[in-house]
Amino acid sequence: MTLDEYNTAVKNILSEQQGLAQQTAQLAMSGKANPTSPEFSKIMTQQWALIQQMGKLNTDLMLGVMSPKK
Protein backbone atom coordinates (compact mmCIF):
# COMPACT_ATOMS: atom_id res chain seq x y z
CA MET A 1 0.00 0.00 0.00
CA THR A 2 1.35 3.38 -0.97
CA LEU A 3 0.76 6.59 0.94
CA ASP A 4 -1.67 7.69 -1.80
CA GLU A 5 -3.65 4.46 -1.34
CA TYR A 6 -3.62 5.01 2.42
CA ASN A 7 -4.93 8.56 2.00
CA THR A 8 -7.67 7.36 -0.35
CA ALA A 9 -8.70 4.64 2.10
CA VAL A 10 -8.84 7.15 4.96
CA LYS A 11 -10.95 9.55 2.88
CA ASN A 12 -13.37 6.73 2.07
CA ILE A 13 -13.67 5.76 5.73
CA LEU A 14 -14.27 9.36 6.78
CA SER A 15 -16.92 9.73 4.09
CA GLU A 16 -18.69 6.60 5.34
CA GLN A 17 -18.49 7.90 8.91
CA GLN A 18 -20.06 11.17 7.79
CA GLY A 19 -22.98 9.24 6.31
CA LEU A 20 -23.39 7.23 9.51
CA ALA A 21 -23.31 10.44 11.55
CA GLN A 22 -26.15 11.84 9.44
CA GLN A 23 -28.17 8.65 9.87
CA THR A 24 -27.55 8.77 13.63
CA ALA A 25 -28.70 12.38 13.77
CA GLN A 26 -31.90 11.45 11.93
CA LEU A 27 -32.55 8.63 14.38
CA ALA A 28 -31.89 10.97 17.30
CA MET A 29 -34.39 13.50 15.94
CA SER A 30 -37.01 10.74 15.71
CA GLY A 31 -36.19 9.42 19.20
CA LYS A 32 -34.86 6.11 17.91
CA ALA A 33 -31.15 6.56 18.75
CA ASN A 34 -31.07 4.08 21.61
CA PRO A 35 -29.61 0.60 22.17
CA THR A 36 -32.99 -1.12 21.72
CA SER A 37 -33.38 0.21 18.17
CA PRO A 38 -32.26 -2.28 15.50
CA GLU A 39 -31.45 0.61 13.12
CA PHE A 40 -29.24 2.26 15.74
CA SER A 41 -27.50 -1.02 16.56
CA LYS A 42 -26.78 -1.58 12.86
CA ILE A 43 -25.27 1.91 12.54
CA MET A 44 -23.11 1.40 15.63
CA THR A 45 -21.89 -1.95 14.26
CA GLN A 46 -20.95 -0.29 10.97
CA GLN A 47 -19.20 2.52 12.87
CA TRP A 48 -17.20 0.00 14.92
CA ALA A 49 -16.10 -1.77 11.72
CA LEU A 50 -14.88 1.56 10.30
CA ILE A 51 -12.97 2.33 13.50
CA GLN A 52 -11.27 -1.06 13.26
CA GLN A 53 -10.36 -0.44 9.60
CA MET A 54 -8.88 2.94 10.52
CA GLY A 55 -6.90 1.36 13.34
CA LYS A 56 -5.45 -1.25 11.00
CA LEU A 57 -4.51 1.39 8.43
CA ASN A 58 -2.80 3.51 11.07
CA THR A 59 -0.99 0.52 12.53
CA ASP A 60 0.24 -0.47 9.08
CA LEU A 61 1.44 3.09 8.51
CA MET A 62 3.29 3.20 11.85
CA LEU A 63 4.91 -0.17 11.24
CA GLY A 64 6.19 0.92 7.87
CA VAL A 65 4.10 -1.45 5.80
CA MET A 66 3.69 1.26 3.20
CA SER A 67 5.60 0.71 0.00
CA PRO A 68 7.17 3.45 -2.10
CA LYS A 69 5.15 4.75 -5.04
CA LYS A 70 6.03 2.87 -8.23
Give per-residue pLDDT as tens, 6-54.
899 999 999 999 999 999 999 999 999 999 999 999 999 999 999 999 9
Expressed as residue numbers, the domain containing 46 is: 3-62
Residue 67 in domain: no
- pLDDT at site 38: 94
Phi/psi region, residue 64 (left: phi>0; alpha: psi -120 to 50; beta: rest), is left
Q: What is the pLDDT of residue 54?
A: 96
Residue 30 lies in a domain: yes
Phi, psi of 22 (to 5 degrees): -65, -40
The reply to whether 16 falls in a domain is yes
Q: How many domains does the chain have?
A: 1
Contact present, 30 and 24 (Cβ < 8 Å): no
- pLDDT of the residue at 65: 67
In a domain? residue 40: yes
Q: What is the pLDDT of residue 5?
A: 87
Task: Establish if 51 belongs to a structural domain.
Answer: yes
pTM here is 0.81
